[in-house]
Amino acid sequence: MAAGLSDEQVFVVHDRDGVRIGLYIDAAVIGRLTRQDPTVALDGANLHDFCTALEGVSHFHYLAWSLQRGREVTLLELELQAEVDKYASALTLMTRQHAGRFPGSLHSRLFDRISFLPHLDAASRRRYEEANRHAARFCRSLEERFLRRRQLRPEAWLSELRRFFRCSHQEKIRQLAVC
């Protein structure tokens, strides 16, 4: 892999026929996920690789969904959605794998104990930090409203995740202001 590239990249190409998007996930990440299948056991051994691959898939899916609707997407919006998608997907898998027990440390692992690629320029780093901060607040709000109360409401949690996904960038920012 060339210096400066991450383990996942989404490529967007504009040409006379429209827009094409592609996803690259480093073969080493895929190899490690094959050996330590997160659908069997998602834990500290494969969480980073799971999140790396899922981030790329999230970017790809969100771009494709937005392009089909003629919506523009900001880089911050893309990163914010990926942070939420990583948390929601990991939480769902871990809860299923642990007989419905809520993985209490997941939020901290994904939002507090993080590091950013050292080669990021200042603007990119600020964007990743902002996406992380907003997603952490939103996901904590979802936990408190739908997953940690005496009466669990996973269907409402899923509905809220779907609604958030469909929101425009401005709608997401407005919603995050009240979390």
**Over the stretch 24-72, which tens digit does the pLDDT of each residue have?**
999 999 999 999 999 999 999 999 999 999 999 999 999 999 999 999 9
Question: What is the DSSP secondary structure assignment for residue 12, as one 8-state letter?
Answer: E
* CA geometry: angle 124, 107, 86, nearest 5 deg: 60
Confidence (pLDDT) at 151: 64
Q: Are 78 and 63 in contact (CB under 8 A)?
A: yes
- Percentage of residues in the chain with pLDDT exceeding 90? 73
What is the predicted pLDDT for the residue at 5?
63
- Confidence at residue 148, expressed as pLDDT on a 0 to 100 scale: 74
Domain parsing of the chain, residue ranges: 8-177
What is the spatial distance between Cα 107 and Cα 141, in angstroms, rounded to a whole number? Answer: 11
Average pLDDT over residues 114-118: 86
pLDDT value, residue 163: 95
Average pLDDT over every residue of 147-159: 80
pLDDT tens for residues 72-110?
999 999 999 999 999 999 999 999 999 888 888 999 999
Minimal CA–CA distance to 46: which of 32, 57, 56? 32
Whole-number Å distance between alpha carbons of 123 and 145 = 33
- Distance set, CA 42 to CA 47, 49, 90, 138 (Å): 6, 10, 8, 23
CA–CA separation, 147 and 154 (whole Å): 7
pLDDT of residue 3: 44
C-alpha to C-alpha distances, 99 to 36, 93, 102, 103, 168, nearest whole angstrom:
20, 10, 9, 11, 35
pLDDT recorded at residue 18:
87
In the chain, what is the straight-line distance between the N-terminal and C-terminal CA atoms, in Å?
39
